[in-house]
Amino acid sequence: MEPRSDETIGVLVVDDHEVVRRGLLEFLGSEPDIDVVGQAAGGAQALELLATMESEGRRPDVIVMDLQMTPVDGIESTRQIRALYGDMKVVALTSFAEEERVHAALQAGAAGYVLKDSDADDVAAAVRAAHRGEVQIDALVARRLMSSIRHPAEAEHRVSELTSRELDVLRLVAAGKPNKQIAAELAISERTARTHVSRILRKLRLSSRTQAALWAVREGLVEVEREPR
Amino acid sequence: MSTQVAPPAVRRTLTNTASRGVRLPSLRYAAGVLALAAAYYGAAKVGQTLRYTASVSAIWPPAGLGIAALYLWGLRWWPGVLLGELVVNAHLLVDDSIPLGSLLGQQTGNMAEIIVGALLLRRLIGPNAAMDRVEQLGPMLLALGVATAISATFGTISMLAGGVVDASDATTFWRTWWLGDTSGGLVVLPLMLAWAQHPIAAWRRVSTWEGAAVIAGVAALSFAVFSTDEPVRYAVFPALIWAAFRLGPPGATLSIAITAGVAIGVTAHEGGLFSEQPIDHRTLITQVYIWVAALTTLFLSAVVCERERSARELSEARRTEGGRAVEARRRIARDLHDSVSQALFSTVLHARTAQKALVQDGGDPSGPVGRALATIADLTRSVQGEIRALIYELHREPVHDGLVAALTRHSFDLGAPDGLTIKVRGPESRLPLSQQVETQLFAIGREALANVVRHAEATVAHVRVEAQREQVIVEIRDNGRGFDPRNGHPGHFGLESMRSRAVEVGGRVTIASAPGWGTVVRVRVPAEADGT
């Protein structure tokens, strides 16, 4: 395989339905800025492939992951991949019937969520957003996730633990800004921005930027634009 | 050390085993025999309150007791019957100077009666009959009739031979003996069969307020009608029928025993002891009364029992059927999801790829190919929507994490129109309901909320789930325009479907509404202890 140019996003497609993989391959491959570098029919196969790719120096940037697979489901696969390759972004592809598992995928560290009945362009948009360190979440899923964050009293208590600088960072995270952009806007180094984010996550007892973003929206810290769906 | 200690221990164990193997069971057996003998003797004493000449009584409960005991616990208890019978006859020998030969003949007849009765009963209706099936009653009557005929025949011949009764009285003597044994048997035998299998369950069934009222009613009415000379004995029957309908065989047989006991007691008290008196009208009437009361009540309670059983079986079958249907729906949903949905998603992707390729190659997106691709994309999207709705209906076990969670989620999904707020309130802990019942309640709630969204023009809808000690209430209340329940309800309100769903799980729906006053739909279902 040709080494990719720096501008294109390398994507690995993981789905146990061949028909879906083929569709994603064709569609994502036709996007000028996306390069499908591999496909796998399951979590185990994906990990094997990633190890090979890693050794060959052509690791993907974003993994499009079906959540409902056997024997290892997409949530567990996401957790494993995120543990091994922390810089890779995972966009979860979910079907209508498995929305209750999206929350678990979020805990596992997935960065984007697309329903399998979205527009094709939404899939590409989610891949790009994940690559930029942003979050793109299906509107229906987002609504449900927010409703499932519980114990508002406890959360209120926790928000007071955040410093005003951390609140600024959180607002930018919630706006879907990557660390680089946060750093630029607040005139701090990218490393400092990253430190702020991880401290926020620890204080709020959350496990991903996505959760933090949702939490901030729910707490009214930011106005969120409704997604056009 | 240990070798010195071990032998005595072993020896002691052996001795214990030996004594347990031989002595204890025989002790228990002896106690059982004595208890049976005592019960038999007691039953005979009751019978002798309505005693006619010699040893013949207007009602003879020991026969039924002996047959029931040997039927229930086995023929090996026959010595108890023999012993009880011996004591009864010893009394007759000493107190009434009935010849020894006649008594021996009578004793033989009574023993044969009980053993033949128990064997016939086993043969005809098998073990463990609890008088809860109509088909047990006929054979029971046959066994009792044959067995008592043996006793009556032996007894009559013995008494004739001993010169205790005249040949001219032989027919009446036989008839009285036979009727006495059968009516006694009809009281005691079903009573013991109905109570012996599950005494605690039987007691639970009877020991309610209603049970106490019925039993008291039977006793009071029996006293009343037997204390008067007016021919009003049939007045007891409503109480007996009540018992048969509501208390099952345990209550029915107890009621028979009570009315028979009162009948005998009052008749004996008023007429004095019947010995040395001719068999009069009243003896026969008492016997026939017991016969009719027992037969009517027994048959009725067996029929009611069968009806209850088939109702239970029907609802069990419905449940199984429902479970199977759920399973089938889930399988179809899975298949749809695995094949159709994935292919549709892929089609969307391919169509989009083609659209982009068309533009890239300089084609006209509004030309024929472009339009066709757009149509493919649109059609696919709409089929996706339909399949999604289908899978939603088929696949979801909406109450998997509880009714309240399901209703909360549903009110989010509902995508309520602007201006309508749906609030769901209820316990987060598990409800005392099976998942099947929760599923039905959820369906009712969904139906009611759909009505609110479609018709009510409400601004607020409250869904309230409340678990009480014995029931669970689900209430859907809106502040919309309401409707007039008297005007019948338009079919699309789905009220009938709510009602039938509620009935299916033993619950009830009430709908309160008035034009301008909103609508309250309230469902109550009985709580279940073992919700699974």
Any domain includes A169: yes
Any domain includes A141: yes
Last residue of a domain, one of B275, B296, B318: B318
Any domain includes B236: yes
Residue B469's SS3 state is coil
Please tell me the distance from the alpha carbon of residue B67 to that of residue B400, in angstroms, as a whole number.
55
Cβ of residue B283 closer than 8 Å to a chain A Cβ = no
Number of neighbours of residue B317 by Cβ within 10 angstroms: 11
- Please choose, from the candidates B159, B160, B83, B91, the residue with its C-alpha nearest in 3D space to the C-alpha of residue B114: B83
Cβ of residue B344 closer than 8 Å to a chain A Cβ = yes
Higher-confidence position of B132 and B280 = B132
Distance in angstroms between the alpha carbons of the first and the last residue of chain B: 58
> Are residue A141 and residue A189 in the same domain, yes or no?
no
Residues of chain A that touch chain B, judged by Cβ-Cβ distance less than 8 Å? 17, 19-20, 22-24, 26-27, 30, 95-97, 100, 116-117, 119-121, 123, 143-144, 147
Task: Say whether pLDDT at B56 is over 60.
Answer: yes
Q: For position A223, what pLDDT does the model report?
A: 52
Any domain includes B390: no
> Are residue B89 and residue B220 in the same domain, yes or no?
yes
User: In which residue ranges of chain A is pLDDT below 50?
Assistant: 1-3, 97, 150-153, 224-229
> Are residue B419 and residue B300 in the same domain, yes or no?
no
**Min Cα–Cα distance to chain B from A199, Å:** 32
* B519 membership: H or E segment, kind and range: strand B519-526
> Are residue A25 and residue A132 in the same domain, yes or no?
yes
> Are residue B40 and residue B177 in the same domain, yes or no?
yes
B353–A121: do the CB atoms touch at under 8 Å? no
> Are residue A99 and residue A205 in the same domain, yes or no?
no
The angle formed by the CA atoms of residues A141, A142 and A146, to the nearest 5 degrees, is 120
Q: What are residue B21's phi and psi, to 5 degrees?
A: -70, -30
Q: Position B97: which residue type?
A: S
Q: How confident is the model at residue B239 (pLDDT cuts 50, 70, 90)?
A: very high
Q: For position B304, what pLDDT does the model report?
A: 92
Cβ of residue B395 closer than 8 Å to a chain A Cβ = yes
> Are residue B153 and residue B261 in the same domain, yes or no?
yes
**Min Cα–Cα distance to chain B from A173, Å:** 26
A26–B349: do the CB atoms touch at under 8 Å? yes
> Are residue A118 and residue A180 in the same domain, yes or no?
no
How would you class B334 by CB atoms within 10 Å of its CB: exposed for 0-12, middle for 13-18, buried for 19 or more? middle
* HEC readout, B422-447: EEEECCCCCCCCCHHHHHHHHHHHHH
Last residue of a domain, one of A90, A112, A145: A145
Any domain includes A224: no
Any domain includes B479: yes
pLDDT tens digits, residue range B203-218? 988 989 999 999 999 9
Q: For position B280, what pLDDT does the model report?
A: 62
Q: How confident is the model at residue B530 (pLDDT cuts 50, 70, 90)?
A: very low
> Are residue A108 and residue A14 in the same domain, yes or no?
yes
* B523 membership: H or E segment, kind and range: strand B519-526
Any domain includes A33: yes
A147–B341: do the CB atoms touch at under 8 Å? no
Domain count, chain A: 2
| Pairs across A and B, CB distance < 8 A | 68
Last residue of a domain, one of A99, A124, A145: A145
> Are residue A202 and residue A135 in the same domain, yes or no?
no
Q: For position B16, what pLDDT does the model report?
A: 44
Positive or negative, the Cα torsion across A131, A132, A133, A137?
negative
Task: List the single range of B6-20, B257-271, B312-326 with lowest mean pLDDT.
Answer: B6-20
The sheet with strand A112-115 has its strands ordered as A34-40, A9-14, A62-66, A89-94, A112-115
Cβ of residue B346 closer than 8 Å to a chain A Cβ = yes
Give whichever of A37-41, B5-9, B454-458, B490-494 has the largest mean pLDDT: A37-41
Any domain includes A229: no
Any domain includes B486: yes
> Are residue A27 and residue A127 in the same domain, yes or no?
yes
Tokens 């969307």 belong to B348
| Chain B residue at shortest CA distance from A69 | B338
Number of neighbours of residue B459 by Cβ within 10 angstroms: 11
Cβ of residue B352 closer than 8 Å to a chain A Cβ = yes
Cα–Cα distances (Å) from B291 to B187, B212, B257, B294, B296, in that order, read 9, 24, 11, 5, 8
DSSP code for B79: H
Span B251-279, average pLDDT: 73
Report whether B315 contacts B323 (CB < 8 A): no
| Chain B residue at shortest CA distance from A98 | B396
Last residue of a domain, one of B318, B347, B379: B318
Please tell me the distance from the alpha carbon of residue B187 to that of residue B195, in angstroms, as a whole number.
13
> Are residue B407 and residue B314 in the same domain, yes or no?
no
Report whether A111 contacts A91 (CB < 8 A): yes
Instruction: Please name the residues in contact with A164: beta carbons below 8 A apart, sequence gap of 6 or more.
Output: none
> Are residue B312 and residue B438 in the same domain, yes or no?
no
Tokens 């796998």 belong to A40
Q: Which chain A residues are within 8 Å of B392, Cβ to Cβ?
A: 96-97
DSSP string covering chain A, please? -PPPPTTSEEEEEE-S-HHHHHHHHHHHHTSTTEEEEEEESSHHHHHHHHHHHHHHT---SEEEEES--SSS-HHHHHHHHHHH-TT-EEEEEE-GGGGGGHHHHHHHT--EEEETTS-HHHHHHHHHHHHTT---B-HHHHHHHHHH---HHHHHHHHTTS-HHHHHHHHHHHTT--HHHHHHHHT--HHHHHHHHHHHHHHHT--SHHHHHHHHHHTTSS--PPP--
Any domain includes B144: yes
pLDDT tens digits, residue range B358-404? 999 998 889 999 999 999 999 998 888 888 777 777 765 667 778 89
Tokens 């006209």 belong to B364
Last residue of a domain, one of A120, A145, A170: A145
Residue B473 C-alpha from the chain's centroid: 26
Report whether B442 contacts B472 (CB < 8 A): no
CATH number of the CATH domain containing B411 = 3.30.565.10
Any domain includes A228: no
Q: Which chain B residues are within 8 Å of A36, Cβ to Cβ?
A: none
Tokens at A215, concatenated: 């939490």
Please tell me the distance from the alpha carbon of residue B357 to that of residue A123, in angstroms, as a whole number.
17
Last residue of a domain, one of B318, B337, B370: B318
**Min Cα–Cα distance to chain B from A163, Å:** 34
> Are residue A158 and residue A76 in the same domain, yes or no?
no
Q: How confident is the model at residue B19 (pLDDT cuts 50, 70, 90)?
A: very low
| Chain A residue at shortest CA distance from B386 | A117
Q: Which chain B residues are within 8 Å of A123, Cβ to Cβ?
A: 349
Please tell me the distance from the alpha carbon of residue B148 to that of residue B42, in angstroms, as a whole number.
19
Q: Which chain B residues are within 8 Å of A143, Cβ to Cβ?
A: 412
Span B136-160, average pLDDT: 93
Any domain includes B241: yes
Any domain includes B126: yes
Q: For position B21, what pLDDT does the model report?
A: 46
Any domain includes B34: yes
Q: How confident is the model at residue B516 (pLDDT cuts 50, 70, 90)?
A: confident
Any domain includes A139: yes
pLDDT tens digits, residue range A58-84? 889 999 999 888 888 888 999 899 889
Helices (H) and strands (E) in chain B, counts: 15, 5
The pTM score is 0.54
What residue numbers bound the domain in which A166 lies? 152-218
Task: List the single range of B12-16, B42-46, B90-94 with lowest mean pLDDT.
Answer: B12-16
Task: Say whether pLDDT at B90 is over 60.
Answer: yes
Span B410-431, average pLDDT: 78
| Chain A residue at shortest CA distance from B381 | A117
**Min Cα–Cα distance to chain B from A162, Å:** 31
Q: For position B149, what pLDDT does the model report?
A: 96
**Neighbouring-strand partners of residue B524:** B473, B508
Please tell me the distance from the alpha carbon of residue B98 to that of residue B367, in angstroms, as a whole number.
123
CATH number of the CATH domain containing A121 = 3.40.50.2300
> Are residue A103 and residue A132 in the same domain, yes or no?
yes
CB nearest A27 (choices: B353, B396, B409): B353
- ipTM, two decimals: 0.71
Give strand ranges (E) for B296-370. Answer: none
**Min Cα–Cα distance to chain B from A148, Å:** 9
CA max distance for chain A: 54
Number of neighbours of residue B8 by Cβ within 10 angstroms: 9
> Are residue A185 and residue A101 in the same domain, yes or no?
no
Counted residue by residue, chain B has a size of 532
Domain count, chain B: 2
CATH number of the CATH domain containing A158 = 1.10.10.10
> Are residue B427 and residue B291 in the same domain, yes or no?
no
Q: Which chain A residues are within 8 Å of B346, Cβ to Cβ?
A: 17, 19-20, 22-24
Tokens at B478, concatenated: 């809106």
Task: List the single range of A37-51, A70-84, B410-424, B460-474 with lowest mean pLDDT.
Answer: B410-424
What residue numbers bound the domain in which B477 lies? 403-526
